[in-house]
Amino acid sequence: MSSSGGASLPLKSHASTVQGVIWTMSMVPLVFVLMRLYVRVCMRRVFGWDDGIAIAAIGCLVAYAAVCHVAASLGLGEHLEIAQENPDKLIQVALLCNIGESLAIMACTLGKTSFAVMLLRVVVHRWMIIVLWFVIVTMNVVNILAALFVFLQCNDPRHLWNPMTPSECWPSYVFTNFSLFVGAYSGAQDFVLALLPWRIVWSLQMRKKEKVGVAVAMSLGIFAGAASIVKTTYLVGLSAKVDFTWELAPLLIWAAVEDGLIITAASIPALKPLLTKIFPGTASDDYNMILYPRLPPNHKVFDNSQGETQTDIGHTSIHESGSQTAILEPICLKGEKINMTTEVSVTYNHTS
């Protein structure tokens, strides 16, 4: 088939690639989140804000995969000249792509927020707490605005997927430039959240080899940062819309890759007890990546530092900032002072 300019378009489609990659990058993190919930709820009998946020993140990612799958079956991944042979389907593709963009943004935001909230439980320095809260607040504000702007570019949002609907809209470069900023900032946050665990873990009383292993496991989000950089390079295609059904495909694929890596990386640190159970003797169980100690039978310890239901934390250190940090044992850090260390346990006597 020839284009209006006489140039020949290759008769191929990215549809199967879009569907395959996006579903893969949704199912893999789904498995990790389910394993995380098994560890947290069944093995440790705890459930925190970070776990709830992780569930919301994977929910958005699975919904994103479903939306993109339907869009690919209607024409996403094909050249516009081929897709526009059926105008009704083309309108549906444009609508689904807009919905998918917002879902991808929220999955990305929630995945990073889950990991940052988890780190708040183990930080011991005031500046770390400030950095994490800055990341959480700014990340959510910027990305929620980006998700909303997908639909707020025009006075009548229907114009975004049906150009026949008249409406005044922003200049195309406005949303593109904002998206480039969000993409760059998102990538920077990935690197911050990937490097911060090294500073946290290095302060713990562990063997150096164990420190490296824990830090690496908690820093896998750096791969999400790399994916974010690649994704950002495709954002310039948002304003062109010359062949959007074809040009959006790689952008949506790399968005799924980034989101999947983020959610997976946020869940891996919680899996240490499960790995120890599956592969006994492969690693010491004297520590945990989220720093939960082994408790005696019939003992439960409650931590109300974050208003969670139950948390099996043996020692809770209260710093000047008012945060409570779960650690294996009291640690005196340079320049830091532990004002109070409490150990609380409740023993249940089971009677017939």
Residues 126-168: tens digit of each pLDDT:
888 999 999 999 999 999 999 999 899 889 899 888 888 888 8
> Which pTM does this prediction carry?
0.74
Q: What is the pLDDT of residue 314?
A: 33
* Cα angle value 212/41/59 (rounded, 5°): 85
- The C-alpha torsion from 265 through 268 and 269 to 272, rounded to 10°, is -170
Neighbours of 260 (CB within 10 A): 27
**Contact (CB, 8 A) for 231 and 108:** no
Give the burial class of 343: count Cβ atoms within 10 A of its Cβ; 0-12 exposed, 13-18 middle, 19 or more buried.
Answer: exposed
Cα–Cα separations (whole angstroms), residue 339 to 150, 314, 324, 331: 48, 17, 11, 12
- Fold for 14-278, please state it: Rhopdopsin 7-helix transmembrane proteins (1.20.1070)
What residues does each domain of the chain span? 14-278
Q: What percent of the chain has pLDDT over 90?
A: 28
Residues 316-335: tens digit of each pLDDT:
333 433 333 333 333 344 44
Q: What is the mean pLDDT of each run of 10 residues along the chain (352 residues)?
A: 44 82 94 92 87 95 95 87 80 91 93 90 83 93 93 89 87 85 87 82 71 74 84 71 80 92 88 76 46 42 37 36 36 43 45 46
Q: What is the pLDDT of residue 270?
A: 83
Interatomic CA distance for residues 30 and 5, integer angstroms: 45
> How many Å separate Cα 212 from the centre of its chain?
23
